[in-house]
A and B are shown apart, each in its own frame.
Chain A
């Protein structure tokens, strides 16, 4: 029953996505309702992200959208992890709207992609979060279980 919950919602989202997506966002694959891949690009002329495409992985739990999806950047030869002080080099994103406290069930895949686009657009720092190496080496947790998120309205 709980599965039906997420499924219904995701199939609605999918049909909307197939219709049209905002510029710079493309659906790569949506096989089933557990994991989707999307590509995003930063459209303005921010030198940090120009002419690059980044791949996002969405993982949905059966209680999506009550619970936030797990969203990470995934890397492949032509899909790097974007440089950003809130994005770890293993692709984990530190953004309040992806945490339990910042998430709202009316958010959706499209709105998350757009938020990430604008998070990149507004950034000027070519750096990783503090303690990146240590975090990447030691973190065994899933992003949703990480407690603290950055709250900075300016980025």
Chain B
């Protein structure tokens, strides 16, 4: 009865549990054809059978906000014990080392003074932070000098009145979204505001915002952690796929909120196409619109963290606001490699003119070919939306049907399964067209297109059945057909994904256009 249930669970909750057992999937080439689970017949009861891992699956783990906090606390406590330093300082050091505990401990053992200095902790004087009234004190920020003025200074000794400090922290936290690296207001002082001092100085709403931002930097600092991009979802996902592996594997993960997305680029699931291809494809598809033209003309992505950056003034020396990566706008290379040629990037200009013209000419020639793939890509996107609409209509009728024909709620769930299978298969099909656009003509591509065709035919057939009027849907024969077709679609999709993933992992695809 629940042929899709198995399929759906394979996509969501069971996946991480099962996959945790196997950790050797980095090459993605394990067990090529392990589709022993979704049988095309109904009523199979394999729910308890441990599913075999598929080559296009990756290991991942979902973290809820409290898990993320606990992880941070654990690390802080560990460093606190090993290095025998205050927890606040341990937190600052860990953030400074982007939560790389091993490197922190190693460096600290070698040169404790330098590490403290670099992290903005300076020479340590004992005693908790406190507000003080100092006779004859004048605040350098507001120039206030009335007697009894409360003031505060961090360990660096740069003292300002409490009011100015509050204003300053308010500005940093609320306006600039800064938390882990708020420096002393003194010009050139690298001392970093710690959580305890902050709690002493500001109101609880700002404290809360500060801790939220700290949490955010924890996830953003860790290469293996990413936020689930679904609206209002607060979970983070851990996945061991590294950036350099993204040409070999498409790491689709599923959050506990059910959102399926690619861990590599945070976009919605785009299997079987690898991230770079997707990025290039989307940029290409968007080229027609004015906005996209503007974006491609005016923005680039930070080579390190992929944040989109608009250069709206200044010179070629860019510092990413988010990850502080320094690079050259012209050649996108490391800034440090530029030495003293700080203004003009000569490395790029030599070839740039002719390359740009070549690219232009090529894109005209390939426009027609592109449209072939784009139309099919867009069609599946559109159809997925329509299938969803139809399902929502059907759902209402399913309720009517239950009362009219006496079918139970569980007996009409096959429509739900069919709808979900359609959605997920269309998502895959959509991306097969982007993928095919970049493929070179050869036997592998022919096989890929066969797989694509099989899946597409199955999906269209299911979609057609799905559109039938409610009266016909109630027919037990059609019901069986729909269920059969649903699991067939699912199976075709798995075959296609496994095939592409294996070839990708082994690097045997050849591309007509590099991406």
Contacts and interface: CB of A to CB of B under 8 A. Distances in A.
A139 B313 contact: yes
B18 interface: no
Given A104-B187, A105-B164, A148-B318, A92 B142 contact: no
Contacts of A9: 141-143
B144 interface: yes
A152 B342 contact: yes
A18 interface: no
A85 B315 contact: yes
Interface in B14-49: none
B321 to A, nearest CB: 6
Contacts of A12: 143
Interface in A40-79: 63, 65-67
Contacts of A100: 175-176
Interface in A110-155: 125, 129-130, 135, 139, 141, 143, 146-152, 154
B311 interface: yes
B229 interface: no
Nearest to A103: B187
A81 interface: no
B186 interface: yes
Contacts of B160: 105
B276 interface: no
Given A9-B142, A12-B143, A125-B343, A150 B315 contact: yes
Interface residues of A, number: 35
A63 B171 contact: yes
Nearest to A132: B313
Contacts of B142: 5, 8-9, 65
A107 B186 CA distance: 8
A135 B313 contact: yes
B409 interface: no
Nearest to A85: B343
A130 B348 CA distance: 15
A125 B170 CA distance: 40
Given A85-B343, A154-B342, A106 B141 contact: yes
B430 to A, nearest CB: 34
A63 B167 contact: yes
Contacts of B136: none
A130 B299 CA distance: 16
B167 A86 contact: no
A65 B163 CA distance: 13
Nearest to B158: A106
A6 to B, nearest CB: 9
Most chain B CB inside 10 Å of its own CB: which residue of A63, A106, A143:
A106
B140 A106 contact: yes
B143 A92 contact: no
B168 A150 contact: no
Most chain A CB inside 10 Å of its own CB: which residue of B140, B188, B312, B313:
B313
A38 B501 CA distance: 66
A66 B188 contact: no
Given A9-B143, A66-B171, A104-B187, 18 more contacts: A5-B142, A63-B167, A85-B315, A85-B343, A86-B315, A104-B185, A104-B186, A105-B160, A105-B164, A105-B185, A106-B140, A129-B315, A130-B316, A130-B343, A148-B309, A150-B317, A151-B319, A154-B342
A-B pairs with the 7 shortest C-beta distances?
A104-B187, A12-B143, A94-B314, A105-B141, A146-B313, A150-B315, A66-B167
29 contacts: A8-B142, A9-B143, A12-B143, A65-B141, A67-B171, A92-B313, A94-B314, A100-B176, A104-B185, A104-B188, A105-B140, A105-B164, A106-B186, A107-B187, A125-B343, A129-B313, A130-B344, A135-B313, A139-B313, A143-B313, A146-B312, A147-B321, A148-B309, A148-B313, A148-B318, A148-B319, A150-B314, A152-B342, A154-B342
Interface of A: 5, 8-9, 12-13, 63, 65-67, 85-86, 88, 92, 94, 100-101, 104-107, 125, 129-130, 135, 139, 141, 143, 146-152, 154
